[in-house]
Amino acid sequence: MGRFTNQILEIMSYFSEIYKGIKTLLTGMSVTGKYFLTSRKGAITQQYPDNRDTLKMFDRFRGEVIMPHDENNEHRCTGCQKCEIACPNGTIEIIWDRGLDEETGKKKKKIDKFVYHLSMCTMCGLCIDVCPTDAIKWGQNFENSTYDRTQLTRVLNEPGSKLKPGVED
């Protein structure tokens, strides 16, 4: 009697396995089927050169390092050189000088040129993590090809710019 019941149970589990298998396969197909039907609206492909004007890169995209300036041509870089030390490739070179501060009249460290070699940058982001004043950020430009590699060496601070007051406080 017991053996007979066991065999019945085995046969039952055989068929329930088949049923479960078909059910899970259909579940998978319904998922992909929904994707198929919505693909027209939700296509993630960017048809790049065509949509160049409207293409906006996502926020966390690492294109190049930039230094934002405000409307008074003022940046936030104090010339502490932490980024230069943090960079594993020697991508950043800061050329600095001591100049007179207009308010206090004391001598003070100022950046002359923030040189950034894009050709050596691996986009690791250590310089941006380490910056105490958030002077440098990720830019979203990705069209970086040039005919001459000297064009990849950039000076990030604009000519005539100066440190924004209050950043060092």
Helix (H) / strand (E) element for 98: namely strand 92-100
Task: Please report, as residue ranges, which positions from 12 to 31 form the binding site for another protein (by CB under 8 A).
Answer: 18, 22, 25, 28-29, 31
Residues in contact with another protein, counted by CB under 8 A, come to a total of 17
- Rounded CA gap, 56 and 54, in Å? 6
44 binds another protein (CB under 8 A): yes
Site for another protein in 47-106 (CB under 8 A): 47
Q: Give the SS3 label for residue 14.
A: helix
Taking the C-alpha atoms of residue 75 and residue 94, their distance in angstroms, rounded to an integer, is 14
> Least distance from C-beta 63 to another protein, angstroms?
23
* Three-point CA angle 40, 143, 89, nearest 5°: 125
Contact range with another protein by CB under 8 A, out of 32-40, 70-78, 103-111, 152-160: 32-40
Query: 33 or 88, CB closer to another protein?
Result: 33
Q: Which of 39, 51, 144, 146 binds another protein (CB under 8 A)?
A: 39
Spatial distance between the Cα atoms of 144 and 139, rounded to a whole number of angstroms: 12
Between CA 49 and CA 61, with CA 55 as vertex, the angle to 5 degrees is 110
Closest CB 15 distance from another protein, rounded Å: 9
**Where on the chain is the footprint of another protein (CB under 8 A)?**
18, 22, 25, 28-29, 31-33, 35-36, 39-40, 42-45, 47
